[in-house]
């Protein structure tokens, strides 16, 4: 559980969980972490295709050439392997599927 709290603290979310914390709050924290992972995967996937689009158009590449930090980001995403992209997509679907499965189980069990 400490790993989960450390992950949330990276995003500025401070949650105090101890023995007296309700299971519903723990469930919400788990759903939040899965959604954050899914969002980061989607952003990474989207950036990959934006970089491919920019590198194919010479006009956009010329406008970015005077900004060295953007060129570093472009080079990182150009060198990204296809296997990493497949891993990123699968992690996205696993996290979103887990949230859907978890919420479906809660609704079907009538816990709320």
pLDDT of residue 24: 82
Q: Is the pTM of this model over 0.85?
A: no
Over residues 49-100, the pLDDT tens digits come to 888 888 788 787 777 778 888 888 777 877 777 788 888 899 999 999 999 9
Decide: 41 and 93 in contact? Cβ < 8 Å.
Answer: no
């Amino acid at each position: 559980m400490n790993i989960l709290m450390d992950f949330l603290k990276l995003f500025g979310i401070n949650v105090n969980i101890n023995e007296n914390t309700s299971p519903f709050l723990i469930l919400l924290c788990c759903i939040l972490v899965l959604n954050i992972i899914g969002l980061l995967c989607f952003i990474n996937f989207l950036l990959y295709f934006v970089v491919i689009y920019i590198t194919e158009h010479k006009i956009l590449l010329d406008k970015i050439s005077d900004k060295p930090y953007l060129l570093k980001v472009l080079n990182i995403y150009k060198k990204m392997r296809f296997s990493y992209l497949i891993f990123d997509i699968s992690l996205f679907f696993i996290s979103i599927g887990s949230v859907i499965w978890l919420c479906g189980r809660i609704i079907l069990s009538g816990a709320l």
